[in-house]
Structure 1
Amino acid sequence: MPGTDDFDAFDLTVGPPEELVVVHGVRGGEGPPVLLLHGFPQTHAMWGPLAADLARDHTVVATDLRGYGESGRPTDGENHAGYSFRAMAADQVDVMARLGFDSFAVVGHDRGARVTHRMLLDHPERVARAALLDILPTAYVYAHTDRALATAYYHWFLFIQPADLPERLIAGDPIGYLHSLLGGWGSGLDAHPPEALATYERAFADPAARHAMLEDYRAGASIDLEHDAASDVAGERIAAPTLVLWGERGVVGANSESPLEVWRRAAADPGLVTGEAVTGAGHFLVDEQPAATTAAVRAFLCG
């Protein structure tokens, strides 16, 4: 992870005996604990500058989600349950408990932010505060898809096709396709530090890793929506202070509703949710505008 040479790497086996998974991550710094969760198609390496800054006065843990980077790739499971946000959230809660933290802050980007949202609902006693970077709720996105969003989020609908059709299509030029993703959502490819980019390339070159990432999206269009619907019926809402950040030039900011208003409806108290657009950023705001993003996250965590 760029800028974090003094962080220590770890591999922890977590989960119930019938579905153990190894989670890879790094830890550094001292102070209140904060967990950093990456998105697609990245790994924990995306957090370099932000992690290094927070480690000045926090214990920072950054992990690879199951199926990503150097973490384990469990079986798909019925209805893609092996890659549900619920399963991913449980992994991360177990990791933090194994590291000695029963309560902690979470900062998630993209798919990692969706894991964070599920964690807020499934494990409210664990999450002291949370930051959600450049997403709207999964169920909201599917319910409000129009031509513009479907065009921008075309990969959501490609990736959920049955295996192994999208896998075979991507296999034709996996690194070229990875570069198109990283350089096509509001930023150029050069926004990503070379060291971090190399880790994404290593992971994406592995067919098993690519399949696992697609299973994440298949779960998002099936079992995750079932979990979201059940949570809604049960009246489960975000109960922790939550920061919402999005890229000024990205898809989330172009939504017909303010991201803040959408997320405030997902909270037990709308006053719990604050946030803003990050000026000059697209989807990869941590990479495109590291100083502004780090400042906003730091102010929230220390507020």
Structure 2
Amino acid sequence: MFEGFTSHTVPVGNGIEIAAWTAGSGPPVLLLHGYPQTSLCWRKIAPRLAEHFTVVLADLRGYGRSSKPPGGPGHAAYSKRAMAADQVAVMRSFGFERFRLVGHDRGGRVAHRLALDHPAAVERLAVLDICPTADMYAATDKAFATAYYHWFFLIQPADFPERMIVNDTNHFIRHTLASWGRTDGAFDEATLRHYVEASFDPAAVHAACEDYRAGASIDLDHDAASAAAGDRLTMPLLALWGGRGIVGRTFDVLGIWRARSASTVTGHAVDCGHFLPEEAPEETLKALLEFL
């Protein structure tokens, strides 16, 4: 996927294998992608981060080359808790008990849960174009539901959304990428084909739906339990969001994250849509380098 990166297949337990790539030297940094993507979303940033850090890219459970198990009862196999535990195991397999963590979109939600469940493992946390899931659902109105229609489509009972997506995966994935981005040229044709092909497997479509179903059920239960226990993020946090996207227009991004954190929270809008690492790689890289 990346020149100079080494490919790995990491067993993390229960028959699950996570695809990962590593390069560079120095402090470890784990990068987690979002939907409907794979680790390829970091292609414009990861090689340059590897000039300063040991960079680990990982496909989330259910995505890319990683295992795609059934969701199981209560969608537990795709809870962010389970997906976060995968990534802790990946980093430990490389000898990293403590690391810096960057997550975009769904990867940001996995990173948020990882930082709550394994605070000693996360030295610094960067989240790209998200607010906490519970806050976003709580603020749902017509404008949000219109913009984030996929949150409500993908959580419908199996296998209704799966059948709809499998019927024309190429159109669905290309439309999703085009409608969420705001920058011409962010995706070349080879990248678009990669994201489409990564979603052709019906197991991948089911996994993505289960990821969102978990986000609307078991993940909210875990978030509520963390809030009731008074759990807060303890590491410095950077929040970046697309200045031409939905998150910054709809939410007080820094205010919400500061309410969830017991440490320093900084961040700003980036001049792009949802896909920061691909639409605005230079500005995103600069912010990450300064923070990490």
Fold-level match, TM-score > 0.5?
Answer: yes
Displacement after TM superposition at 1:20 (Å): 2.9
Bigger mean CA deviation after superposition, 151-160 or 166-175: 166-175
1:230 to 201, 225, 228: 225
Task: Provide the C-alpha distance between the structure 2 equivalents of 1:143 and 1:57, rounded to a whole number of angstroms.
Answer: 39
Contact 1:14/1:20 (8 A) holds in 2: yes
The 3-state SS of whatever aligns with 2:180 is: coil
1:180 match: 175
2:7 to 6, 9, 13: 9
2:261 match: 267
What amino acid does structure 2 have at the position aligned with 1:172?
N
RMSD in angstroms over aligned alpha carbons? Answer: 1.1
Distance 1:97 1:293, change over 3 A: same
Are residues 1:298 and 2:289 paired? Answer: yes
Please report the TM-score for the alignment, with normalisation by the length of structure 2: 0.98
% of aligned pairs identical?
53
- Per-residue CA deviation, residues 126-162 of structure 1 (Å, 9 max, x unaligned), is 0000100000100001100011000000000000000
2:274 to 267, 270, 283: 283
What amino acid does structure 1 have at the position aligned with 2:171?
G
Distance 1:60 1:193, change over 3 A: farther
Counterparts in 2 of 1:49-60, with a 5 A limit? 49-60=44-55
2:129 match: 134
Contact 1:159/1:218 (8 A) holds in 2: yes
- Contiguous gaps of at least 5 residues in structure 2: none
- Per-residue CA deviation, residues 57-95 of structure 1 (Å, 9 max, x unaligned), is 100000100000000012312100000100000000000
What amino acid does structure 2 have at the position aligned with 1:267?
S
The 3-state SS of whatever aligns with 1:277 is: strand
Task: Provide the C-alpha distance between the structure 1 equivalents of 2:89 and 2:63, rounded to a whole number of angstroms.
Answer: 17
- Contiguous gaps of at least 5 residues in structure 1: none
Contact 2:239/2:265 (8 A) holds in 1: yes
Contact 2:182/2:244 (8 A) holds in 1: no
- Per-residue CA deviation, residues 107-144 of structure 1 (Å, 9 max, x unaligned), is 10000000000011000000000100000100001100
The 3-state SS of whatever aligns with 1:163 is: coil
The 3-state SS of whatever aligns with 2:135 is: helix
Counterparts in 2 of 1:1-303, with a 5 A limit? 1=1, 4-15=2-13, 19-187=14-182, 190-255=185-250, 257-269=251-263, 272-279=264-271, 281-301=272-292
Task: Provide the C-alpha distance between the structure 2 equivalents of 1:156 and 1:77, rounded to a whole number of angstroms.
Answer: 20
Please report the TM-score for the alignment, with normalisation by the length of structure 1: 0.94
Displacement after TM superposition at 1:188 (Å): 5.5
Displacement after TM superposition at 1:189 (Å): 7.1
